[in-house]
Amino acid sequence: MHVGVLAGGPSPEGKGSLLSADSAAKALANLGNTSELIDISEPGFWSRLTKVQAAFIAGHGWYAEDGKLQGLLELLGVPYTGPGVLASALGMHKPTFKQVLVGKGIPTLPWATLNKTASQEEIAKATDRLGFPLFAKPASNGESFEAGIVRTVGELQELLASDGPYSSQEYIVEPFVTGNTLTIGVLQEADRLIPLPVLEAVSHNEFYDAESKQNPDLHEYRCPAPLPDHVIETITQLALRAWEACSCHGVTRFDFMLAERGPVMLEMNTVPGLTRQGNLAAMAEASGLGLNRVIELMLESAFNRPTYCP
């Protein structure tokens, strides 16, 4: 079939998503399809959507991964890959996602939200409850842009006051947990869910920041993660519970840290990176599926969506 690969856009992650789009296009060609890149930052890009048989979403971040693009495709009646509006929106707004986790009894770290205009009293209330060191990040951003470890009130105020290209009006802060990030992808094959092997991302920087994520010399992947079987099983079951709680579809990746009390879920990524050097590809290879098969299952998800997907 002829597939529109959607990527780009005004998000801080828009430029990087073009790499995912290129990888997806190559896999689609290997599977016998033709495709065209549709940059969602181009004026009137939606006029091209009615000329494709399916939309393969490879965009990351704002306007591509947050439910807005999914809603447009729903209204246009264009089959599209991955989760729908609800799961996409939940995955993008970290505080709301964590509220869902708490409501479903899925362990996560305690947190507070702070706006850039937060008063000293609001900051003191959050830091007194959570303690230091803290990890602060924009409430609706990915790739660890404008995120960092803060050890004092002054450092937190400085981060909130930053005015970089990826700064946000709302931040989420939570206790900083040392250790490596753990992640697991979940795929859908018709009505069957396929959990991929858990991957451990080892950063050569202080934490798994934007630089270490983008530079293969600054990280390494261990997949399957060298963890006890009971920890792997716990992470897998928690991911499946979060999938159901958020009405996911097609593919989603869930990130964890290993705290003293066990695995705690951090985030949900409804459009994982698709490059052959990325963590989803590493999990796909470790599972024996390979990235081409993952891309094929993602394309199939455009056509096995429920009649109404919230």
Q: Which domains does the chain have, with CATH numbers?
A: 2-81 (3.40.50.20), 89-107+178-300 (3.30.470.20), 112-175 (3.30.1490.20)
The reported pLDDT for the residue numbered 219 is 67
- Angle of helix 85-92 relative to helix 94-103, nearest 10 degrees, comes to 110
Paired with 220 in beta bridges are: 202
- For residues 295 and 28, the answer to whether their CB atoms sit within 8 Å is yes
The reported pLDDT for the residue numbered 190 is 86
- For residues 236 and 73, the answer to whether their CB atoms sit within 8 Å is no
Number of Cβ within a 10 Å radius of residue 93: 17
Q: 3-class SS at 86?
A: helix
The reported pLDDT for the residue numbered 148 is 85
- For residues 114 and 88, the answer to whether their CB atoms sit within 8 Å is no
Q: 3-class SS at 55?
A: strand
The reported pLDDT for the residue numbered 61 is 87
- Angle of helix 291-300 relative to helix 14-30, nearest 10 degrees, comes to 90
The reported pLDDT for the residue numbered 195 is 98
The reported pLDDT for the residue numbered 211 is 56
- Alpha helix locations (H) across the chain? 14-30, 68-76, 85-92, 94-103, 120-130, 153-161, 210-214, 229-245, 279-287, 291-300
- For residues 25 and 2, the answer to whether their CB atoms sit within 8 Å is no
The reported pLDDT for the residue numbered 260 is 86
- For residues 251 and 260, the answer to whether their CB atoms sit within 8 Å is no
- For residues 242 and 183, the answer to whether their CB atoms sit within 8 Å is no
pLDDT tens per residue across all 310 residues of the chain: 999 999 998 877 778 899 999 999 999 999 999 999 999 999 999 999 989 999 999 998 889 999 999 999 999 999 999 999 999 999 999 999 999 999 999 999 999 999 888 899 999 999 999 999 999 988 887 655 678 889 999 999 988 887 765 556 889 999 999 888 899 999 999 889 999 999 998 876 665 556 555 656 666 889 999 999 999 999 999 999 999 999 999 999 999 999 888 999 999 999 999 988 889 999 999 999 999 999 999 999 999 988 888 8
Query: Minimal CA–CA distance to 62: which of 17, 111, 31?
Result: 17
The reported pLDDT for the residue numbered 184 is 98
The reported pLDDT for the residue numbered 308 is 81
